[in-house]
Amino acid sequence: MTAHVLTLSCADRIGIVAAVSGHLAGIDGFILDSQQYADLDAGRFFLRVEFRGAGPAFPAAADALRAGFAPVAGRFGCDWSITPRDARMRIVIAVSKGSHCLNDLLHRWKTGDLPVEIVGVVSNHETLRALTEWHGVPFHHLPIVDGDRAAQEAAMLAVVRDGQADLLVLARYMQVLGPDLSAALAGRCINIHHSFLPSFKGARPYARAHDRGVKLIGATAHYVTGDLDEGPIIEQAVERVDHRDTEADLIRIGRDVEAQVLARAVRWAAERRVFLNGHRTVVFR
């Protein structure tokens, strides 16, 4: 039988887990995996359960499964969803000229390692058209014409909507999203940047980091908000460097870390493992 993923978040109170597990037992649901977290400071509760049918009472249709759970969710005021585990999240990737993150995502997707459906790539440059189309993915060149950023971002949002995409992934897209686009994609847009921020903002961060003699470099994947590079963090990683590493070494190492961190963040989002929790996230790894 098809496995499903139930996710929910709500104000914390006694009886949530008992109600969920009791409901699943009552419809012959067999729990495969369950993770939960209570944020005592915020008073919020988060739950992710994978389950499948194990008897005749289990609903055959997904709509019936959701309808049956709705009273439980309503009792606790939950934000919730039930999704088939093999349902692939649809994503659009935004890039500029750097290929390392895009190439990594396309390769993981093409080999079946990344459980998403890439429905398009948008870019303000033509540089990565050949790479994208070689993988059989539509490429949308959306330059900023005469400084009209609003029109360009409206076209980008149209690509997301027309592709029925659940997520926009900024894979080294070297433009700052405007407030309207950030708001329209709240909780649905992931960015990757080097972890020097805020210490080394602006141009040539690796050169300035090298000049300062840093010993750790890394990357951060986060949700995009109206505050530049300050959205809720999903994943981070670092690599140790030393005095022997040149600026070119730092760039090479940093690109590898960026690609790995972004791929993990996209995978966890696609597997419904990431929950927004104010300015933070809960990630059931």
- Positions annotated as catalytic residues are 229
Residue 84, token pair as written in the block? 């088939």
- The number of helix segments (H) and strand segments (E) in the chain equals 8, 13
Q: What is the rounded distance in angstroms from the CA atom of residue 15 to the CA atom of residue 144?
A: 53
Q: Which pair of structure tokens corresponds to residue 209? A: 């980091």
According to DSSP, the β-strands at 79-84 and 89-95 are unpaired
**What is the Cα–Cα distance from 51 to 148, expressed in whole angstroms?**
48
Whole-Å CA distances, 174 to 94, 98, 193, 195, 254: 9, 9, 10, 16, 16
Residues 223 and 232: beta-carbon distance below 8 Å: yes
Q: CA–CA separation, 21 vs 247, rounded Å? A: 54
User: How far apart, in whole angstroms, are the C-alpha atoms of residue 20 and residue 35?
Assistant: 12
**Which amino acid makes up residue 273?**
R
CA distance 137 to 66: 33
Can you tell me the distance from the alpha carbon of 234 to that of 223, in angstroms, rounded to the nearest whole number?
Answer: 7
Using alpha carbons, select from 260, 165, 183 the residue that is nearest to residue 223. Answer: 183
